[in-house]
């Protein structure tokens, strides 16, 4: 798994009994502590080594180091969970169709980092979360499953996002579990699309 934050989705994966071989992060974060506490190998590929958050950030160098580290451990499926660094296309070449992501909207609407705020300001009556196969294009790629979350009249960005996170923590482990089962049977991750009801 690739993490950058609190590790609550990782905790959900562990509770679901999923095998997590490695948790890698792009910065020091609670997610690494969660992994350590669960006896999962951790890896920090710090952005600081590649220019941090400056405009000169060496994205390709960062991506290459992360890719080499994962491949050297025979990782065959990558699940991003709040991972805060956009990797380059070479990562997706190394893991074609095998990088999963969860996003707090009903894709293809409200892509990007401010999806929850966009849903609130748009006036729609519902949003949700999407688990999809990540591609080089941000928040794009085949959709594997979605769950809807109604927007309440008194919702703030924080309250709505928290309700979406509750759904994500249930849906994402279910999808990952199905993808892992499919891969054991020699099928591609995309084959699980549509196998989960909303």
List residues with catalytic annotation. 103
**Quick check: 38 and 16 in contact, CB under 8 A?**
no
């Amino acid at each position: 798994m690739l993490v950058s934050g609190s590790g609550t989705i990782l905790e959900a994966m562990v509770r679901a009994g999923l095998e997590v071989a490695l948790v890698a992060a792009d910065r020091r974060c609670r997610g690494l502590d969660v992994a350590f506490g669960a006896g999962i190998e951790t890896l920090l590929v710090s952005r600081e080594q590649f220019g941090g958050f400056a405009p000169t950030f060496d994205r390709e160098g960062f991506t290459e180091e992360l890719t080499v580290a994962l491949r050297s451990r025979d990782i065959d499926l990558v699940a991003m969970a709040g991972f805060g660094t956009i990797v380059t296309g070479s990562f997706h070449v190394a893991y074609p169709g095998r990088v999963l992501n969860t996003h707090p909207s009903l894709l293809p609407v409200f892509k990007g980092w401010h999806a929850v705020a966009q849903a609130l300001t748009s006036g729609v009556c519902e949003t949700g979360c999407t688990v999809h196969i990540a591609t080089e294009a941000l928040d794009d790629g085949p959709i594997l499953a979605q769950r809807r979350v109604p927007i309440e009249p008194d919702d703030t960005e924080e309250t709505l996002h928290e309700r979406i996170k509750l759904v994500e923590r249930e849906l994402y482990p279910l999808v990952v579990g199905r993808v892992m089962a499919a891969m054991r049977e020699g099928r591609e991750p995309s084959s699980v699309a549509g196998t989960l009801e909303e």
